[in-house]
Amino acid sequence: MSDKEPYIAWHGTTILAVRKGDQVVIAGDGQVSTGNTILKGNARKVRPLGKGDVIAGFAGATADAMTLFERLEAKIEQYPGQLTRACVELAKDWRTDRYLRRLEAMMIVADARVTLVLTGNGDVLEPEHGVVGIGSGGNYALAAARALADTEMSAEEIARKSMAIAAEICVFTNGNIVVESLKA
C-alpha cells in the first residue's frame, strides 16, 4: 500500500462489540484464511490488554494486528484509565509513522466506559447504539446484534447469537467464537 492509496477495510474475519447494561463484550471468530483456503480455525483475535481493564479484537493481517496490540498496550500504560487518549495517540502514530502506515488491520477496543474502532486512516470512532462490527462478517453480525439489542438477552448472549448468524452467512467466518467481557 503506497502512502497515497486509501486505507482498505480488511476482510476475512468477524469481530463484534456489544455494550448493554453494565457489560461490554467483544467477540471474534477463529478462522484464518488466505484466498479461499482456511489455514486455521481456532485463532484468538480477541484478548484483554493492559491490566485486563481493556479488551480488544482485530480484523486484518495477524502480524500487523499484533504490532498494533503491542503499541496500544504501551499507550494504555502511558495513559492509564484514559482509553480514548491512548487510542488517539496510537492513531496519530499509525498515520504518521512510515512503518505503521503500512499496517493493514482494524481494531475494536473497549473499557468499562467506552467502545472505539481504530483504523489506519487515523479514525478513532465511538459507535452508535453500543454495537459495532468489523471484518468480512462484521455487517452481518452488526445487523443481527442491532436487531437483538432491544430483547432481554444480555450483551454476551447477543454477541454469541449474532456471531453464529454471521458464521452461517460469511464464508470467512467460522463458529469458533472467542468472547471477552468487562463489567462497568
Alpha-carbon gap, residue 50 to 76, rounded angstroms: 6
CA atoms in the 13 A half-sphere facing the CB of 155? 22
CA 25 to chain centre: 11
Q: How many CA atoms lie within 13 A of 55 on its CB side?
A: 25
Could you tell me if 132 and 110 are in contact, meaning their C-beta atoms sit under 8 angstroms apart?
no
| N-term to C-term CA, the chain | 39
Dig out the grid coordinates for 69 from the structure: 496490540
Instruction: Kindly report the number of other CB atoms within 10 A of residue 169's CB atom.
Output: 15
Active site residues: 13
